[in-house]
Each structure stands twice: as C-alpha cells, then as structure tokens.
Amino acid sequence: MSKIGQRGIHCLQRLNTAPFTSVSASLIEKGQNRVIDASLTLIRERAKLKGELVRLLGGSKASTSLLGVPLGHNSSFLQGPAFAPPRIREAIWCGSTNSSTEEGKELKDPRVLTDVGDVPVQEIRDCGVDDDRLMNVISESVKLVMEEEPLRPLVLGGDHSISYPVVRAVSEKLGGPVDILHLDAHPDIYDCFEGNKYSHASSFARIMEGGYARRLLQVGIRSINQEGREQGKRFGVEQYEMRTFSRDRQVLENLKLGEGVKGVYISIDVDCLDPAFAPGVSHIEPGGLSFRDVLNIIHNVQGDVVGADVVEFNPQRDTVDGMTAMVAAKLVRELAAKISK
C-alpha cells in the first residue's frame, strides 16, 4: 500500500491510542457517514446545475458529463492513475488544439460536454471507509449524474477497478444489462487477483458475476494467461487478441451492439494502445493497437452509448511534454461526441 493510501488507516490507528481511546466505533462511523453524505451532496448539486443548464439550452437527447474517480490503490503495480483526472482535464482544454471533435461536435457546447468534478476518493479513504462502502459511493455518484437527464456519465479514472461500480450503477439505473466494449491489453477478469476482489485485474469478473452485462467484447488483448482464458469461457466473453487483429479488424470496425439490452458501455484502458502511442501507463505491453485503430472502432460502433470510462493513464510515467495525457484527452473528446446527441 502506498504512503497516500495508508493515511486513513494511520488516522484510525491514532484514534485508538491515547489520548483518543474514548472515541467510540459508533462515533467514527457517524463521522464517516457525514463525509460520505457531503461527498454525494457535492456531486448531486453539481449534476443538478449542469443538468438544468443542458435542459435550458434544449435540443439534447443525451449529453456527456465528466465524473472523475481518482482511485489508484486497487492497482497491483503502480498507483499513479489516481492522479490522472486533473491531467486529462488540463489536456482537454490546454489550447493546443481546437475544441471540435473529429466528427464536428463542439466541446464548448454544454449539450456535448459538461463536468461534475471528482468523487473525493482520498478524503473518503482518509476517514477509514473500506472498499465495500467506497464502491457504493462511486455507484451512487454515477446514479446522481444519470438522474439529471439528459446527462450520461463519462468517467475519468483512476485504475480499472472503478469500472465495476460504474457499470453496476449504469445497469441498475437503466433497469437491465448493457453490452460492453472493453479495449485493454489485459482481460481484467481474474476471480480475485492477489486476494483483492476489487483489484483492477478483477473488475470484469465482478461485472459479469453481477449480471450487469449481456455481452462483453474485449479488444486489444495481448497479456492473458490460462485463468484469463478460462474466466473468459466461463462468462462467455468475446476476446479479440492482438495476434489475430489483422484478421478481426473488419469485424471490430463494424460492431453493432446494444440491441435487446439497455445500451452500450465503452471502457478504454489506455494501455490498449501500443506504448509508442501511450507510454504513460503502469503496465507497458508492446504490440498494441494504434491510436487510429481505437478511433476507428469507437467511431464505427453502432448502438446507443449510455456511458463510458477512460482508465489507467499514469501521469507519473508520462513523457515530460504530457504525450499520454493528450492521448487520453483525445479519447475522452471522441467518446463525448459518441455519447452526446
């Protein structure tokens, strides 16, 4: 566990030593509840503000709203993805490019893109809240965004563990499963990696166990072992490995998803890309997708995209000029255009 991740535990340990031995467990729990309530109020009020603005402007059936989840402690290697959301936002609006997407949508139009800020993950953990409750807070935050129609969540990670509570929230809010397009170097479907059921390497096992997805398509896979393949067969996952990408390209650039379910969810781990395009990731896996490969898949997928996430960008491993931040920002921009209509 990182020094940052230990702060909340150390705080509780201090409460259990003199002169704080009189602090009861019930009092600590009340304090935790107040922090959680304040966190949800923050997201709720921001979502209301953005939703009212979009509705006032009119003409939008679906509008993308960014929600940051700066969580990195469920990473099995480096925890730098916790610092990604502000770096992605900075890159989106840095001024080095214009504010139009490739398909011509204007990001400065609130009907295309708004932002409700971050779930205050570290503050919640600092008061000793465990991951069961933290995952619930993330899910509730996503639901608060979705309550403000026509807002739809585009979540900035964070490590890939956040996809589980986000997809769970989207599915529960819409009242049924979704189809998931998952771009990644890894299948992230271990049953319980290193004893952590919320590991970033186990997020899609939790999603499939919960029945939150009908179809799961995994694209860009090039680091998979026997358990990953067995878990894929167990859950009926459609795994497209990079070693056969040239053969699969036509299928993947003409996907039709979401029919008969509540829509399509897109999850992009930045390490789906070859490290030549995105070096700022925790797990560098050569032999990945090109940036244009990813955009072609996103642009051409047919279906109602009801939510998405971009995860596993690690600013601590990025180049000095922020190359991977710009890559992640471009992914966000194009996803926002795909969601909004």
CA angle 280, 181, 97 (to 5 degrees): 45
Helix (H) or strand (E) holding 5: helix 3-15
CA distance 7 to 19: 19
Consult the annotation and say whether 184 binds a ligand. Answer: yes
Consult the annotation and say whether 188 binds a ligand. Answer: yes
What count of other Cβ atoms lies within 10 Å of the Cβ of residue 200? 31
Q: Which residues pair with 100 in a beta bridge?
A: 106
CA distance 243 to 305: 28
Consult the annotation and say whether 269 binds a ligand. Answer: yes
Closest CA to 325 of 338, 312, 336, 337: 312
Tokens of 278: 């995105």
Q: Tell me, what DSSP letter sits at residue 211?
A: T
Please give the C-alpha separations between residue 149 and each of 103, 145, 229, in angstroms, as whole numbers. Answer: 23, 8, 39
Q: What is the CA radius of gyration of the chain?
A: 20
Dihedral over Cα of 296, 339, 86, 31: its sign: negative
β 213-221/63-69 pair status: unpaired
Pairs from 164-167 (Cβ < 8 Å, separation ≥ 24): 164/135, 164/198, 164/203, 164/204, 164/206, 164/207, 165/135, 165/136, 165/138, 165/139, 166/69, 166/138, 166/139, 166/142, 166/307, 166/309, 167/207, 167/212, 167/213, 167/265, 167/267, 167/307
7 with 104: CB under 8 angstroms? no
**Which residues define the annotated binding site for Mn(2+)?**
160, 184, 186, 188, 269, 271
**Which residues define the annotated binding site?**
160, 184, 186, 188, 269, 271
